[in-house]
């Protein structure tokens, strides 16, 4: 039997090499969902949360606006309810944003992509991570402030999620020692960072879970910033009565 032509053998080798490269690349894409779900479980909010917050809006021109708000949350019986109410300035007092989600996936509230009270914080940011809406892939680790972090790339599940949230791809930075999310980078269509949220001054609550005392949200293209500072935090049903949510749309 004659040997196969050298050209044919070379072609088969080239195909095998290409397939091996693709297989290695596929294996290198590690699913990031377990990291995200472990972080969400570790930092799951208490059943009742009351906060007094200060919101500081600023821009490149030096304009600065300060608002105080109250935040109420209930997380029980399969429901998650979130309410944010402006206290000052007086002309905006009582303006509010309310969002509710049930265990079956039902949702009430404004469009996730809309902004809270003219700040850089979107309703989707306010609601927090919704893992069912995204795919997650682990990227190379990075150090932030000399602390090692996992880096997870979040990609919307479909175009509907992108349209609703305004999110494209995001990078979430989770501390390797405790999975606390220290930063989220929001990427534009070219892969550049367009927005950034940084979670600062974490403080342990009564369960030992870290809660950020300050969150900085930045529009890096327009040089606008919103600093949200938690002045007081209480985890008690007495501060979040059911009546707070009564009659809300």
Instruction: List the beta bridge partners of residue 65.
Output: 57
Q: 33: part of which helix (H) or strand (E)?
A: helix 33-42
d(CA 41, CA 58): 34
- What is the predicted pLDDT for the residue at 117? 94
pLDDT at 156 over 90: yes
Q: Which of 4-8, 112-116, 174-178 has the lowest mean pLDDT?
A: 4-8
pLDDT grade for 108, boundaries at 50, 70 and 90: very high
Average pLDDT over residues 151-157: 98
pLDDT on residue 248: 84
- Give the mean pLDDT of 66-70: 98
pLDDT at 78: 85
pLDDT at 219 over 90: yes
Mean pLDDT of the region 42-55 = 97
Compute the distance between CA of residue 199 and CA of residue 205 in angstroms, rounded to an integer: 15
Mean pLDDT for 121-141 is 96
Label residue 12 by pLDDT band (50, 70, 90).
low
Decide: 200 and 215 in contact? Cβ < 8 Å. yes
CA distance 67 to 127: 20
Structure tokens at 42: 């570790």
pLDDT at 41 over 80: yes
pLDDT at residue 181 above 90?
yes
d(CA 91, CA 239): 25
pTM: 0.86
Round to whole Å and give the CA distance between 30 and 47: 33
Average of per-residue pLDDT across 56-68 = 95
Q: Band the pLDDT of 239: cuts 50, 70, 90.
A: very high
The answer to whether 150 and 174 have CB atoms below 8 angstroms apart is yes
Q: Where does the pLDDT of residue 2 fall: very low under 50, low under 70, confident under 90, or very high at 90 and above? A: low
């Amino acid at each position: 039997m004659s040997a196969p032509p050298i050209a044919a053998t070379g072609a088969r080798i080239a195909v095998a090499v290409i397939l091996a490269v693709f297989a290695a690349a596929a294996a290198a894409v590690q699913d990031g969902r377990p990291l995200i779900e472990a972080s969400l479980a570790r930092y799951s909010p208490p059943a009742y949360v009351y906060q007094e917050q200060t919101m500081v809006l600023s821009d490149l021109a030096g304009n600065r606006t300060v608002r105080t708000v109250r935040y109420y949350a209930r997380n029980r019986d399969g429901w998650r309810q979130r309410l944010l109410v402006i206290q000052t300035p007086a002309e905006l007092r009582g303006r509010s944003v309310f969002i509710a989600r049930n265990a079956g996936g039902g949702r009430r509230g404004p469009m996730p992509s809309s902004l809270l009270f003219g700040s850089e914080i979107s309703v989707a940011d306010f609601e927090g991570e919704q893992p069912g809406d995204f795919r997650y892939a682990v990227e190379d680790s990075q150090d932030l402030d000399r602390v090692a972090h996992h880096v997870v790339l979040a990609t919307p599940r479909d175009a509907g999620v992108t349209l609703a949230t305004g999110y494209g791809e995001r990078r979430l930075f989770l501390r390797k020692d405790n999975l606390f999310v220290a930063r989220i980078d929001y990427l534009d269509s070219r892969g550049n960072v367009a927005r950034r949220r940084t979670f600062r001054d974490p403080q342990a609550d009564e369960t030992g879970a870290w809660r950020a005392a300050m969150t900085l949200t930045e529009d890096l293209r327009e040089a606008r910033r919103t600093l949200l500072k938690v002045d007081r935090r209480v985890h008690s049903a007495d501060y979040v009565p059911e009546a707070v949510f009564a009659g809300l749309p």
